[in-house]
Amino acid sequence: MVESSSLTLPEDPKEAQEVFNSLPIKNQLKIVLQAQGKGRLHYLFLSEHPDQLVQQLPELDVFLTIKEVGERDCLDLISLTTPEQFQYILDLDFWRRDQLDPEKILNWMEILLESGEKKVTQFIHSTDPEFIALLLKKFLHVTSLEGERLEEMDKIPLFTLDQFYFIDFKGKKTREIFEPFLGILYHTDDEGYRKLMESLVVEIDSELEETEYRLRNGRLNDHGFPDFEESLEIYRFVNPNSLIAEERFPRVMGRGEVGKEGSIFYLTFQHEGPFLSSVLSKIDDPQKQDRLRQEITALCNKAIVAEAIDLSNIMGMERVVKKVYRTLNLGLQYLSKEDEIKAFEILPSLPIQRLFQCGVSATLLLRRRAESILKGPWFSGDQENLTFLDPSHLEKFEGILRKRPALYRDGIYEDFKNLQDLKETEDFLESIETIINFLGKELNIYPHHLREMNLDGCHPEDWREITLSTIFLTSLANQMLKGSFQFRAIEQAHVKDLLFRVFERDAQGKGVTKMEVKDGLREWLSSVEGEERKRQHLLAFRDFCLDLFEEEYGKIPLEEEIDPRFVKGLVIRS
């Protein structure tokens, strides 16, 4: 859906301007939107009518252009914005959650003045008087005189324009900015000025801010940013399997969605969902394209609100938009089973929000599975018992248990992006369930036993340092030394004998597990687990444990004494 322009303009500035202006406004706008940063400004001001182009830009893209290029390098752009566009910019940038940011206010009021008196006058006429009152309340204190006007001004050394309302500015910088602003306000609308001054005398700061915050949220709602409760609907669970057979919904556009150009900022991240992007690229019906753009824009807005992202936090917005596309990609793959022909039928007929909910719900089903394992007989519903998972497994399991499940990979938490991520996680949960069931059955050992064990004189001496691999390796050591697979501490004096039985030395002298040990474990595990998938999970766990054992003990030279304080994998009694 994000197209690239094939237009190549001549290098000569005059010729480039002629070619650009020969295009219809609609085509000019498309080229402007496809550019970024200073490139976007370049195309805007090639136009003989840049005001027409600026006023047709989506508000969010105006804001992001200003942020990317810098406010003072965008004064010409800012001066051409409509009152609605400019108010939108302020609504995004002035607030930190429900509090005004004084530094941002000073910055934007200074930019407003630098944009020219015409822009200041437009702002005064178009903005709620309460909004201006709130801005001024932050930076100046107003007092009034009752009765006759004061003749001798030197008695009260404060700023005044009418000798009735006297203003004390809170700082030099504040006066430099607000004195000229008040001058324009007074000469533009003297009656409005007096009403404003009176409100500054009597209004309470906190009440003004609370009122304006509600008005600001209402304005953003009109631009497609709904309230928090409504936005959370996108994370509501729907049975993804029921959607496959579900009748297609008629699309009902929400407030702020109809007739609005989808923000190019949102659309540029569709590569984050490769399968989705491929299917989107095959939709050539302009009406369907426009509708999908609008729905994706509305969905991104809701996700940003639901994730409580500050609307001036560009990096935070980018992260959320990427998550939207990844989740849509997952939802479409899930419903179509990665069949592009079927996906091509689904995408135009199922609301985008429903598709997102499907992707979300697929991960919530994983969380339900993880919760079921946690509540099962081994962990007994006690989240502290998850400590027995090996670190990489623990972080992965905890990621799945999050309110919004995440995939732990390569040391970081990621969004679920595709069916492969989903299948890998399902496989992981099945493996954990298989391992704990195996240990419970073969060893009759559970967390409450482990937490009550007497570990005096042992390493580790705290049950919190015992993991599933420690249980398996220690039990295996007893099998090799004493002929019994049981979880009991190994005597330090027997560790070297164990290593001799387990390891052979490679060319570098490092201990590697003997093939006969691996084969013996394979035969045993195959005899105790008849189901093929579960048997493969146990064999993978065997390999995981033996790799850990080699890493801890394989590097120790034969002649060196083993200090149990500095190795892991076994419970050793000194």
**What number of CA atoms fall less than 13 Å from residue 531's CA on the CB side?**
8
Across 416-443, b (16+ Cβ under 10 Å) vs e yields: bbbbebbeebeebbbbbbbbbbbbeebb
Judging by DSSP bridges, how do beta strands 140-144 and 99-100 pair with one another?
unpaired
Please report the pLDDT score of residue 2 as a whole number: 47
pLDDT tens string 530-562: 899 999 999 999 999 999 999 999 999 888 888
At residue 7, the pLDDT reads: 63
| pLDDT in the model for residue 241 | 79
Average pLDDT, the chain: 90
143-152, 259-268, 282-291: least confidently modelled range: 143-152
Both structure tokens of 244: 């496959």
Lowest-pLDDT range, 253-257, 290-294, 417-421? Answer: 253-257
Q: Report the distance separating Cα 78 and Cα 73, nearest Å.
A: 10
| pLDDT (0 to 100) of residue 493 | 94
Q: Where are the chain's structural domains?
A: 13-222, 228-360, 453-573
The upper half-sphere exposure of residue 256, i.e. CA atoms within 13 Å in the direction of its Cβ, equals 22
Give CB contacts under 8 A, 24+ apart, made by 272-275. Answer: 272/322, 272/325, 272/326, 272/329, 272/417, 273/325, 273/326, 273/328, 273/329, 273/330, 273/332, 273/417, 274/329, 274/418, 275/329, 275/332, 275/333, 275/338, 275/340, 275/343, 275/418
Q: Rounded to an integer, what distance in angstroms lies between the CA atom of residue 112 and that of residue 108? A: 6
Mean pLDDT, to the nearest integer, of 346-367?
95
Q: If you average pLDDT over residues 341-345, what whole number do you get?
A: 94
Q: How many whole angstroms separate alpha carbon 161 and alpha carbon 187?
A: 10
Look at residue 148 in the predicted model and tell me its pLDDT.
45
Average pLDDT of 50-68? 94
- Of 175, 165, 215, the residue nearest 195 (C-alpha): 165
Tokens coding 281: 């690229």
Whether the pLDDT of residue 252 is over 60: the answer is no
262 band by pLDDT with thresholds 50, 70 and 90: low
What pLDDT is recorded for position 366? 97
Residue 1: its pLDDT value, please? 52
Compute how many other C-beta atoms are within 10 angstroms of the C-beta atom of residue 480.
Answer: 15
What is the structure's pLDDT at 257? Answer: 43
Residue 450 confidence (pLDDT): 94
492: pLDDT confidence band, cut at 50, 70 and 90?
A: very high
How does strand 165-169 pair with strand 490-491?
unpaired
Asked if pLDDT for residue 65 goes beyond 50, the answer is: yes
* pLDDT computed for residue 224 by the predictor: 86
Residue 249 has a pLDDT of 46
Give residue 559's pLDDT.
83
User: Given this model, what pLDDT does residue 401 score?
Assistant: 98
Helix (H) or strand (E) segment spanning residue 12: none
Q: What distance in Å separates the CA atoms of residue 417 and residue 333, rounded to the nearest whole number? A: 10
User: 432 or 172: which carries more pLDDT confidence?
Assistant: 432
Identify the band that residue 258 occupies on the pLDDT scale cut at 50, 70 and 90. very low
Tell me, what's the pLDDT at 11?
A: 85
Give the rounded percent of residues in the chain with a pLDDT score beyond 90: 76
DSSP string, 154-166: GGS-SB-SSSSEE
Q: Encode pLDDT of 69-79 as tens digits.
A: 999 999 999 99
N-term to C-term CA, the chain: 68
443-483 pLDDT per residue, tens? 999 999 999 999 999 999 999 999 999 999 999 999 999 99
What is d(CA 24, CA 21) in angstroms, rounded to the nearest whole number? 8
Has residue 311 got a pLDDT over 90? no
Contact 270, 280 (CB under 8 A): yes
How would residue 146 be classed by pLDDT, with cut points 50, 70 and 90? Answer: low
pLDDT of residue 239 exceeding 60, the answer is yes
* pLDDT (average), residues 57-69: 93
Per-residue confidence band for 206, with pLDDT thresholds at 50, 70 and 90? confident
Per-residue pLDDT, 96: 83
144-182 core/surface letters (b: 16 or more CB in 10 A; e: else): eeeeeeeeeeeeeeebbbeebbbbebeeeebbebbeebb
pTM of the model: 0.84
Using 50, 70 and 90 to split pLDDT, how confident is the model at 261?
Answer: low
What tokens does 229 get? Answer: 């409760």
